[in-house]
Structure 1
Amino acid sequence: MKRRTLLASGAAAATLGLVRPGFAQGSPLKVGFIYVGPINDGGWTQHHHTSAMEMKEHFGDAIELVYQENVPEGADAERAMTQMALGGADIIFTTSFGFMDPTVNVAAKFPDVKFEHCTGYKTADNVGVYSARFYEGRAVTGYLAGAMTKTNKIGYIGSFPIPEVIRGINSSFIHARKANPEVEMNVVWVSTWFDPAKEADATQALLDQGVDVVLAHTDSTAPLAVLEKAGALGFGQAADMYEYAPEPRISSIIDNWAPYYIERVQAVMDEAWESQNNWWGIGDGMVGIGEITGPVPDDVKAEAEKIRDDIAAGSYHPFTGPLNKQDGSAWLADGEVADDGTLAGMNFYVEGITGSIPS
């Protein structure tokens, strides 16, 4: 595990009273990143780090980039953020949902440091939040999954039962049903973002249930490796994972954080940074759809690309009624679009998905 800028021990922090070095005029701005996984995970963390490196290339010597990978969510995250702030970081990006409370806690101790938390919702004067509208991308991959299944059973590997993941499951299922009204979805929860062994086991469990197309909201390429051996289909997650194309990977959801990182670091440099809640999607370039490859028929590919383009243009929203909740109660009337507040706190399945959401 690489540890950068861990310049003060817990004892030193107590001695210093959580006082950090000030930003010296003319010195590089120190930009920090806290990662939940390894920077070579092939997915989530790797794409955050790739985007951070693009940001570094953009600014050159005007910034100093520091990071720590493999930081568990919880108390370890708070320690890592504290040490990074003590090491002189001017802005720290914390890149996993479970870093939310540690980010807010540490930010309160370092009011002069700017914090940006990815996929969370808690803000403060020096804490902003940002996320991608992944559910937009999952509308496209869900449609492809529904169109490509031969068993009428698709599977979804869920990491944690948070709104972001639940939105993805619902969007995938809604659009799979648009392609194939007979499709069923099985969900397996693994309670981890990155654990190749668990992800592989979950994939095999879905295959054993008759699933032949799998969508994943976890970070490694393990599901695609299992699908390749089984002759089943899947998708790249967070990264293109094109090394598995044309089969089993038939497309992908690609995260592109670099423009956001550049914008927010520039705001710090300009002394114009303010706490914001930013939620960008396909139209903003933060969510990309990888090339559609493999056995996808031309008409299916064209419809999937139309969904992508209509979302980007703002002429279509993935959560447009009529839609009911899982228990059959009405949610969205015909033509009604879900508001961001409901989506941000989504804690229910839509009608047609079986099983329950873990508490």
Structure 2
Amino acid sequence: RGRKEAGLGNEDTETNVIWIKAWLDREKEQLATEALVAEGYTFIKQIADTPTTAQTACELGVDVIGYGRDVSPTAPCALATNSWNWGDYYFKSVRAGMNGTWEPHDYYEKGTKLTFSDKVPQDIQDKVNSIPLDEVWQGPIQGYGFDENGRYDIFVPEGECLIDDDLLSMQWFVSGIKSSERIEAKKFRFAVN
């Protein structure tokens, strides 16, 4: 969900992904943010582990959405952050382990908390918070997937959606997203949306 749902369309926007290929690497996060801003990008959505991306964006005067933990204490320009809350999962898993009933499984329930800046109007916050998590996970990824040369490698038919395994291992981008990395297409399975 995003610009299209807000009635802004995607035609005039471009998203660029920089892969830092590292965990907890503040220097790479800073360099990636600086590179995007130097290229003229005016908004950063971080998917890195430390608050460095958000802090760097704020220092450079660019709005940002944080990731993983609330970055607002050190990055006041952050419009929002999704924070992972593992407490519910740990509690249930430890209890199941103690009872001898624990089994490995994917877990998505009650794990995300959104924190918004005062700069985000309350009606927008309410709209975002009203979207059921199931809708987000089964969101509208339909149409063509593109490689970095602009060729489409996959087509998701209207009325169908990718299943969780495919979304979690997705190696391609939708239109409007570029990256310097080569993206290999693969066979996908679909579910009726």
8 Å CA contact 2:47–2:66 kept in 1: the answer is no
**Counterpart in 2 of 1:289?**
114
Structure 2: any 5+ residue segments left out of the alignment?
A: 184-193
- Indicate yes or no: 2:10 matched with 1:186: no
CA deviations over 1:175-222 (Å, ceiling 9, x no partner)? 699644221011212121112122111111110011111111211111
* C-alpha distance in structure 2 between counterparts of 1:338 and 1:194, whole Å: 30
CA deviations over 1:128-170 (Å, ceiling 9, x no partner)? xxxxxxxxxxx5xxx3xx5xxxxxxxxxxxxxxxxxxxxxxxx
The correspondence for 1:230, drawn from 60, 70, 83, is 60
CA separation of 1:218 and 1:178: change in aligned 2, threshold 3 A: farther
The code of the aligned residue for 1:195 comes to D
Q: CA RMSD in A?
A: 2.6
* C-alpha distance in structure 2 between counterparts of 1:294 and 1:352, whole Å: 29
**Counterpart in 1 of 2:191?**
none
8 Å CA contact 1:177–1:183 kept in 2: the answer is no
**Counterpart in 2 of 1:310?**
131
Question: 1:329, CA displacement in angstroms?
Answer: 4.7
The correspondence for 1:345, drawn from 160, 169, 173, is 169
Question: 1:300, CA displacement in angstroms?
Answer: 4.2
**Counterpart in 1 of 2:69?**
239
**Counterpart in 2 of 1:331?**
155
Question: 1:243, CA displacement in angstroms?
Answer: 0.5
The correspondence for 2:107, drawn from 272, 279, 292, is 279
8 Å CA contact 1:321–1:333 kept in 2: the answer is no
> Which structure shows the higher helix fraction?
1
**Counterpart in 1 of 2:79?**
250
Percent of matched pairs sharing the same residue: 22
8 Å CA contact 2:18–2:179 kept in 1: the answer is no
Question: 1:273, CA displacement in angstroms?
Answer: 2.2
CA separation of 1:176 and 1:244: change in aligned 2, threshold 3 A: farther
* C-alpha distance in structure 2 between counterparts of 1:178 and 1:343, whole Å: 25
- Indicate yes or no: 2:96 matched with 1:264: no
The code of the aligned residue for 1:346 comes to M
8 Å CA contact 1:320–1:332 kept in 2: the answer is no
8 Å CA contact 1:324–1:330 kept in 2: the answer is yes
The runs of at least 4 aligned residues of structure 1 exceeding 6 Å deviation read 175-178
* C-alpha distance in structure 1 between counterparts of 2:181 and 2:85, whole Å: 29
CA separation of 1:253 and 1:266: change in aligned 2, threshold 3 A: same
* C-alpha distance in structure 1 between counterparts of 2:132 and 2:142, whole Å: 18
The code of the aligned residue for 2:82 comes to I
CA separation of 1:259 and 1:330: change in aligned 2, threshold 3 A: same
Structure 1: any 5+ residue segments left out of the alignment?
A: 1-138, 147-174
8 Å CA contact 2:66–2:81 kept in 1: the answer is yes
Q: Which structure has the larger Rg? A: 1
Number of corresponding residues:
178
